[in-house]
């Protein structure tokens, strides 16, 4: 098997969404939102198998327009609920692939809610994993403000958890990073032995904030649309 043969890309795409209904197939800068992720995976050229697992017939009907490397899997209803865990969806895909005689070494999970993610981000994450000796890789971006400026509001409206006694300028704080949900890379041994995409220690694939929007609600969608339209316009110049 080649390196590409050993990499399995999984794109999980449910039909349902509470905050933004049908978001995975909503038209976004000229194509259904999920298409941005499928096409980034194809352009990354890191796998011969890109599996889109979905309970949505509309999503599955999009796939024949792509090369044979893009494979659709109809998801079981039990794995298409709000409470279904992503790792269970991943394990279901792996089991199907192994029954078909395909035994990957590495899992690359790409959520369709990250349409701004580019092929270079996927390749970077896979390369970091390759050099890391089996530690899982997660994509991250810098947080907007220092964590010391974040806290919780209780039921009485009081703010807790902020460190304001030693005020500093934001640039004087160390950089903090958050998961952006765009790319996850894990070894098959991690998935099977730990039942998780996350090894005991993690490696970071740092992405710029402008490619780190995770579409959860309409504002995220509209910001993504503006960014993608700008990107498309710039590519034509």
Tens place of pLDDT per residue across the chain (237 aa): 677 889 999 999 999 888 899 999 999 999 999 999 999 999 999 999 999 999 999 999 999 999 999 999 999 999 999 889 999 999 999 999 999 999 999 999 999 999 999 999 999 999 999 999 889 999 999 999 888 889 999 999 999 998 777 768 888 888 999 999 999 999 999 999 999 999 999 999 999 999 999 999 999 999 999 999 999 888 887
Alpha-carbon torsion, ordered 84, 203, 51, 106, to 10 deg? -110
Pairing state of beta strands 7-13 and 49-54? parallel
HEC assignment per residue over 86-126: HHHHHHHHHHHHHHCCCCCCEEEEECCCCCCCCHHHHHHHH
Tokens 């899982």 belong to residue: 136
The reported pLDDT for the residue numbered 165 is 77
Residues 6+ apart with CB under 8 A from 77: 55
Token pair belonging to 47: 């796998």
For residue 100, CA distances in Å to 11, 42, 69, 97 come to: 19, 22, 15, 5
The reported pLDDT for the residue numbered 1 is 65
Q: What is the DSSP letter of 75?
A: P
The reported pLDDT for the residue numbered 179 is 98
The reported pLDDT for the residue numbered 134 is 86
- SS3 (DSSP) at 192: helix
| Rounded distance between C-alpha atoms, residue 204 and residue 138, angstroms | 5
The reported pLDDT for the residue numbered 236 is 80
For residue 150, CA distances in Å to 27, 144, 156, 171 come to: 35, 11, 18, 16
| Rounded distance between C-alpha atoms, residue 222 and residue 80, angstroms | 26
Architecture of the CATH domain 3-141+177-235: Alpha-Beta Complex (3.90)
- SS3 (DSSP) at 51: strand
| Rounded distance between C-alpha atoms, residue 223 and residue 68, angstroms | 32
């Amino acid at each position: 098997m080649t390196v590409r043969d050993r990499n399995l890309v999984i794109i999980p795409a449910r039909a349902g969404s509470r905050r933004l209904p049908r978001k995975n197939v909503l038209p976004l800068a000229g194509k259904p939102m999920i298409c941005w992720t499928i096409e980034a995976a194809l352009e990354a050229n890191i796998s011969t198998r890109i599996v889109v697992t979905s309970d949505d017939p509309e999503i599955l009907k999009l796939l024949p327009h792509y090369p044979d490397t893009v494979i659709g899997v109809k998801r079981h209803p039990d794995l298409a609920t709000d409470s279904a865990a992503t790792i269970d969806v991943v394990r279901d895909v792996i089991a199907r692939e192994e029954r078909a005689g395909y035994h990957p070494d590495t899992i690359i999970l790409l959520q369709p809610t990250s349409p701004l993610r580019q092929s270079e981000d996927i390749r970077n994450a896979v390369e970091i994993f390759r050099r890391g000796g089996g530690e899982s890789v997660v994509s991250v971006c810098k947080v907007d403000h220092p964590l010391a400026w974040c806290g919780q509001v209780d039921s009485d409206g009081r703010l807790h958890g902020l460190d304001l006694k030693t005020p500093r300028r934001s640039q004087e704080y160390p950089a903090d990073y958050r998961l952006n949900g765009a790319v996850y890379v894990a070894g098959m041994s991690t998935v099977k032995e730990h039942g998780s995409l996350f090894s005991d220690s993690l490696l970071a694939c740092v992405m710029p904030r402008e490619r780190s929007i995770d579409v959860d609600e309409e504002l995220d969608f509209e910001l993504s649309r503006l960014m993608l339209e700008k990107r498309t316009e710039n590519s034509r110049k």
